[in-house]
Structure 1
Amino acid sequence: MTESEKPESHETPESHASPDAPVWEQRFRAPRVSLPEWAEEAPDRSLFVSNATGTYELYAWDRATGEQRQVTDRPNGTTDGTLSPDGAWVWWFADTDGDEFGVWMRQPFAGGADEPAVPGLAPSYPAGLAIGREGTVVVGRSTDEEGSTVHLVRPGGGAPVEIYRHRESAGVGDLSYDGSLVVVEHTEHGDAMHSALRVLRASDGSAVAELDDTEGGTEELGLTVLGFAPAAGDTRLLVGHQRRGRWEPMLWDVATGAETDLRLDLPGDVSAEWYPDGSGLLIVHGYEARSELWRYEIATGALVRVETPAGSVSSATARPDGSVEYLWSSAAEPPVVRSTDGGVVLDPPGPKAPPSLPVEDVWVEGPGGRVHALVQRPAEGEGPFPTVFEVHGGPAWHDSDAFASGPAAWLDHGYAVVRVNYRGSTGYGREWTDALKHRVGLIELEDIEAVREWAVASGLADPERLVLSGGSWGGYLTLLGLGTQPDAWAVGLAAVPVADYVTAYEDEMEALKALDRTLLGGSPEEVPERYAASSPLTYVDAVKAPVHISAGVNDPRCPIRQIDNYVDRLAARGAVHEVYRYDAGHGSLVVEERIRQVALDLAFAAKHLGTRPVGSGPRP
């Protein structure tokens, strides 16, 4: 047995500080920015996230003067923030060391002291926020004791007024342009994967309209809020629906109940947002791990392509002048904020991230249908390669043709990288995403196994040097796969995983309890056999591969106690494993901490597979 307890250190290792650091480290350290959000009534005022200081924090940007300033400065970073519509205030969520439990704070856009944004509200998990042009504020909250609540502060201030409460998951969707209507996404029907919508009057919290696609059928269909129309008196709400087996937008007039089906002729999932003048919709179309942009003209129904490079658009926004700004990358090319006006919108100072290698698409027949995988081969050598199966989190997420520093580090060290969009992943239709229920974890691993068999048979992967790796849900699948497929994997690397499903359920945030009840058909008391079948702890004694686990001690999603239970079982039987605990939540926003964790994974794999030692990859 090898057990190492490594407390987090914020000191920069000497090798990390070197100007000739390996290329893989440079990708993590290169300054990055998010797509800037802009204030609706003051579009020159913007807010973005950057890692310029080595920690991801919020920055205010006055486009008129070019001035940028750092808004937040906390040891574990800050990424949740927004602007008031008039641009006067920056709102940001203050938790404790990444535990996601806290309150909203605000700071003047030009700088000044932080202050509680909504005095009178106790700390909670966030569940949506909407700030009105006329001063109305709507705050969604979630606690283990109260369930979900929505509170409203009327223009001019005053104590927050509760306008919604339920034990099941719910959150704020949006506030109408004039501040008179609030839409809430809720799961009162008990299915945390498929929300219904309720519109309330801001004046008294009374119900105006309800849209629930889970009623009256054998299939439960979800809805999501995309935004109220940007005009006073316009009661149309842009809604995402799944009525034809994929995500599509429609218009719902909450005053009359009229629904306008847009029926866009695009094959994948479709999301949308309003152009600021309300004349059209900016369409984000995701299909087979890539995305593109379109403009939909509401008056004519015309659909016009907004030209972007091949790859992935992770976020986009339409500006008042009609231009579109978007954050783009590909697996080979680092992210950049572009505009349809031409050029780069926001270019952070400092060295640029070195590029990586492109992906190739692979389709494999699996037990539930064709499985899509993204494959990257190292720049040098011939297969079969040591191969990392990097499993995405979620599970309602998907890997895409987008830049990622983690997989690039493995490529630099001579590994092939395979990423599988297993059943449960988004972007392949509702049936694919919803396939997980009851046999949770086991279904995803069937798809990963099918791609693993292809990778070995095709000559890509060395069957004796296969690494199963992932974070969050991917970390869960890693531990579950090591126990249920013990002869398939040579090394396992699990970050912030679910390791003991029953204890995880007991300790996690309430919203995730609801999701687990939906996925598994009840609580651990109601369906104990399903939790046992889906828990890595059930199979821990079968694990053969060396295991490296990293965990945040303040994680509310995959709490530390259930990971300790799993580690104790590994230790009791003398299984080879290492554990790294760090002082943060569900991951870290500190760049050097991210580098440290990747270095530990690289070193652990090299030790047990005889591959290149950490740091031996390309250098500048």
Structure 2
Amino acid sequence: MDEHGAWRSPLTAAAVASTGLRLSGVALDAAGRAWWSEGRPAEGGRVAVLRREPDGRVVEAAPGLDARTRVHEYGGGAWGLVRDARGETGAVLASASDQRWFHAAAGRPPRPLTPADGVRYADPDQAGDGIVLVAEDVREGVPRRSLVHVPLDGSGPRELFEGPRFLAAPRVSPDGSRLVWTSWEHPDMPWQSTLLWEARLDVAAGQLSDVRVLAGRDRRESLVHPGFAPDGTVLVVSDRSGWWNLHEVGPDGGLRPLLAEAADQGFPPWVFATTSWAALDADRVALVHAADVGYRLDVVHRAGGRVEALDLPFTAYAPVLAGGGGRVVAVAASPTAPAAVVVVDPADPADPTAPAVDVVRVSAAAPDPAHLPVPQPLSLPSAGGRTVHAHRYPPTHPDHPDAGAAPHVLFVHGGPTAQSQAAYSPEVAFFTSRGIGVVDVQYGGSTGYGRAYREALDGNWGVVDVEDCTAVARWLVEEGLAPPGRVGIRGGSAGGFTVLAALTGTDAFSAGTSYYGVADLRALAAETHDFESRYLDSLVGPLPAAEDVYVERAPLSHVDGLSCPVLLLQGADDPVVPRSQAEAFAAALHRKGLPHALVVFPGEQHGFRRAENVAAALEAELSFYGQVWGFDPPGVPRLHLDG
């Protein structure tokens, strides 16, 4: 029998890297056409904006254009729909090359709307004959952000509002007379404390009036995903109950929950244009909310709060949603179905008991389900009486029905204020189909489990997350699911920090892979971009008072405690976690004489976009585990280890 890790799998690294489209934003236009954006690894990660015509043809709005913005560095909100003076629907979108915005109408080449002057824009919503955007000017050192109105005639941006350090989610009322948006200040992040603003909007004059804070002034709460119902009522997701729940906002700023439940109905806005809800009509709202396993998309009636359960075959949703004509478009997935753009009609005349689901675009062709693991939800005891949540994906292969004890790798998500949903993952299946189990750890600090769970990491980054991962690793061995000495850990960005902290601070793991992970907290605080530059105030402590804590928590400070091999994978041009951190950790490993490898990918930033690099990283990781755990994965180049 083949050894665990050496099972022959149809899922090659090249297939994992090149076949998966990265589906993101969605929209429905007045004609009922679905629009979406997709990142294409085979084209260097280029993001294309597309629509599906009634005859089934898929048309790209601006062929060749890479629709990405760098506002807050993470971007998002790089395109939207507009109707011009002729009533024709087109797209407005940002060009990654120079950050200019363009109007792409049918039958005409894209026309520039903003100058190439270094100012960046994101998160469009139509207002009259133009769009409202968040503008970010980084030319003078300290970023300056504002709300602007950009006419479709190309006459250039007009500033509407400025003042707060961060601005997001400008949304225009259905009648075009009002604008809402959110803001926050250092040192907060938007999942900690935000303000919800409202103003009268006069597009002709290019100005706002009656500007006021609508909610958030009298308490610390996270207000995210603002918008309007068709009748002009403001809706927003607030966590004032301890859970992100969708609320109606009254004229006096009072909040009324549409569906009060001990479950999250929102997502952390790491990027622009995120939401968890979409109005279907004056009464019905489509809402994504956490369930026992994963997430559900259901319909909530504003009048009375009645829930219309849709019972869709999906367990995971991207934080994008749009409604129109009584239907909703989303990006959804399940453990055996890759992410897809789907249009859901909750009222299917052919079968009133079941919603109609139209699959518009599939991100990848799914392999044989016999090679796909079904996640097992876990809630395990951790240090300090806490509970840690996780999803275990067992080794799965039709030729190996009884895997027995198998090596496992813990997947640690980034953020750290984020989560990994229970859904099809070609990366997970790449390992499980070869006989290596995977556990996605939703350590304390993760989203999806309420505000208190998110705040468990406050002041404890590098402590609670490490304790939770250690608890999962030891449980795997105690339960006989993994042999002693064959549990590894891998993660990217903030997850990479947890990997390095766990490897230098515990003996629970025998191998670790860090994708562009943080090794030096003090350097991260000094070098990272503005959006996250004060994030560590809450995760670790404010500087300079907490200087000693930064040094103590940094994995670089504890390399002497490391006794297992490490693989470091890094983008050469990463602006978030500079390559210098990976190089410093590799130098420390070299001095200690431990087996290790540092692989730097030219042209990559924070996250690998090029298919060839994604594939090379996966193959390097599998070869690394093979050398540490004593198996030889077939068809995979052998990674050279130093030390």
Supply the AA of the counterpart residue of 1:574: G
Summarize the alignment of residues 220-619 of structure 1 with structure 2, pairs less than 5 Å apart. Answer: 220-230=220-230, 234=232, 236-253=233-250, 256-271=251-266, 272-309=276-313, 311-314=315-318, 317=321, 319-341=323-345, 342-347=356-361, 351-355=365-369, 356-368=372-384, 369-379=386-396, 380=400, 381-485=402-506, 487-523=507-543, 525-582=544-601, 583-613=603-633, 615=635
Which position in structure 1 is the counterpart of 2:23? Answer: 34
Question: Residue type matched to 2:360 in 1?
Answer: L
Higher relative contact order by CA 8 Å / sep ≥ 6: 1 or 2? 1
Q: Which residue of 1 aligns with 2:272?
A: none
CA deviation map 1:204-239 (0-9, x unaligned): 3455221453645xxx321113312345xx2x2211
Which amino acid letter does the alignment assign opposite residue 593 of structure 1?
Answer: N
- Higher mean alpha-carbon deviation, 530-539 vs 593-602, is at 530-539
For 1:520, give the aligned amino acid. V
TM-aligned CA distance change 1:425 to 1:282, over 3 Å: same
Structure 1 residue 600 displacement after superposition: 0.9
Aligned to 2:273: none
Matched, 1:117 2:116: no
Residues 142, 148 of structure 1: 8 Å contact kept: yes
2:33 corresponding residue in structure 1: 44
User: Relative to 1, partners in 2 of residues 1:276 and 1:73: Cα closer, same or farther, differing over 3 Å?
Assistant: same
Check whether the contact 1:168–1:190 (CA below 8 A) recurs between aligned residues: no
Using the aligned pairs only, state the percent identity.
23
Tell me which amino acid in the other structure corresponds to 1:401.
A
Is 1:140 matched with 2:148?
A: no
Cα separation, partners in 2 of 1:74 and 1:501, compared to 1, 3 Å? farther
Deviation larger for 543-552 or 43-52: 43-52
Q: CA deviation at 1:25?
A: 4.4
Correspondence for 1:177 = 174
Shift of 1:190: 3.4
Pair 1:568–1:116, CA change in 2 (3 A): farther
What amino acid maps onto 1:67 in structure 2?
A: R
Query: What's the offset of the Cα at 1:572?
Result: 3.1
Secondary structure at 2:487's aligned position in 1?
A: strand
**Cα distance, 1:29–1:127 mapped onto 2, change above 3 Å:** closer
- Residue 130 (structure 1) aligned to one of 125, 130, 133: 125
The aligned amino acid for 2:309 is R
Equivalent AA in structure 1 for residue 296 of structure 2:
E
Residues 150 and 171 in structure 1, CA contact (< 8 A), matched pair in contact too: no
Partner of 1:9: none
Q: Per-residue deviation at 1:598?
A: 0.7
1:281 deviation in Å?
A: 1.1
Q: 1:225 to 1:384 in 2, by over 3 A?
A: same
Q: Is contact 1:555–1:585 with CA below 8 Å preserved after alignment?
A: yes
Write the distance in 1 (CA, Å) between the matches of 2:44 and 2:116: 30
Q: Secondary structure at the match of 2:453?
A: helix
**CA 1:425/1:327 → structure 2, altered by over 3 Å: closer, same or farther?**
same
What does residue 57 of structure 2 align with? 67
Q: Structure 1 residues 536 and 128 mapped into 2: Cα distance closer, same or farther (>3 Å)?
A: farther
How far apart, in 2, do the equivalents of 1:45 and 1:120 lie? 30
User: Which secondary structure does the structure 1 equivalent of 2:309 belong to?
Assistant: strand
Please list the CA deviations of residues 391-425 of structure 1 after superposition, one character each: whole Å capped at 9, or x if unmatched: 11111111221111111111122111111111000
CA shift, 1:614, in A, is 5.0
TM superposition shift of 1:615: 3.8
Unaligned runs of 5+ in 2: 1-8, 70-75, 267-275, 346-355, 638-643
Q: Contact between 2:572 and 2:579, CA under 8 Å: does it hold in 1?
A: yes
With 536-545 and 20-29 compared, the bigger mean Cα shift is at: 20-29
Per-residue CA deviations over 1:555-603 (Å, capped at 9, x if unaligned) read 2221222332222322333332211111111112223321221111111
Gaps of 5+ in 1: 1-19, 97-101
Aligned length: 582
In 2, Cα distance between equivalents of 1:159 and 1:77: 20
Secondary structure of the corresponding residue to residue 599 of structure 1: helix
Contact 2:338–2:362 (Cα < 8 Å) also in 1: no
Task: Check 1:142–1:502 CA distance in 2 against 1; reply closer, same or farther (3 A cut).
Answer: farther
Q: Residues 365 and 371 of structure 1 are in contact (CA less than 8 Å); yes or no, is this contact kept in structure 2?
A: yes
Structural RMSD (CA) = 3.1
Q: Is the 1:414–1:612 contact (alpha carbons within 8 Å) kept by the matching residues of 2?
A: no
Query: SS at 1:464's partner residue?
Result: coil
Q: Distance in 1 between matches of 2:439 and 2:41?
A: 30
Equivalence for 2:353: none
Q: Distance in 2 between matches of 1:359 and 1:316?
A: 23
State the partner residue of 2:104.
108
Contact 2:245 2:260 in 1 (8 A): no
Aligned equivalents of 1:396, 1:471: Cα separation in 2: 13
- Contact in 1 for aligned 2:51/2:58 (Cα 8 Å): yes
Per-residue CA distance 1:159-195 (angstroms, 9 max, x = gap): 4344444574333442333444333322237322322
Aligned mates of 2:495, 2:107 — CA distance in 1? 40
Structure 1 pair 168–318 and aligned structure 2 pair: CA distance change class (3 A): closer
Contact 2:30 2:324 in 1 (8 A): no
1:195 corresponds in structure 2 to: 194
Alignment-mate amino acid for residue 94 of structure 2: F
Q: How far does residue 553 in structure 1 lie from its aligned partner after superposition? A: 1.7
Is the contact made by 1:171 and 1:184 (CA closer than 8 Å) also made in structure 2? yes
CA contact (8 A) 2:44 2:610 kept: yes
| Cα shift at 1:538 | 1.4
| Mapped contact 1:134–1:178 kept (Cα < 8 A) | no
Change (3 A) 1:264 1:348: closer
Question: Could you tell me which residue of structure 1 aligns to residue 4 of structure 2?
Answer: none
Q: Which residue of 2 aligns with 1:210?
A: 213
Task: Give how far 1:47 is off.
Answer: 3.1
Distance (whole Å) between structure 1 residues aligned to residue 125 and residue 622 of structure 2: 43
Q: CA deviation at 1:349?
A: 10
Post-superposition offset of 1:146: 3.0
Asked if the contact 1:105–1:114 (Cα under 8 Å) also holds between the matched residues in 2, the reply is no
TM-score scaled by length of structure 2: 0.82
Tell me if structure 2 keeps the 8 A contact 1:540–1:569.
yes
Question: Does the Cα contact within 8 Å between 1:28 and 1:591 map onto a contact in 2?
Answer: yes
How many angstroms apart in 2 are the aligned matches of 1:516 and 1:24? 35
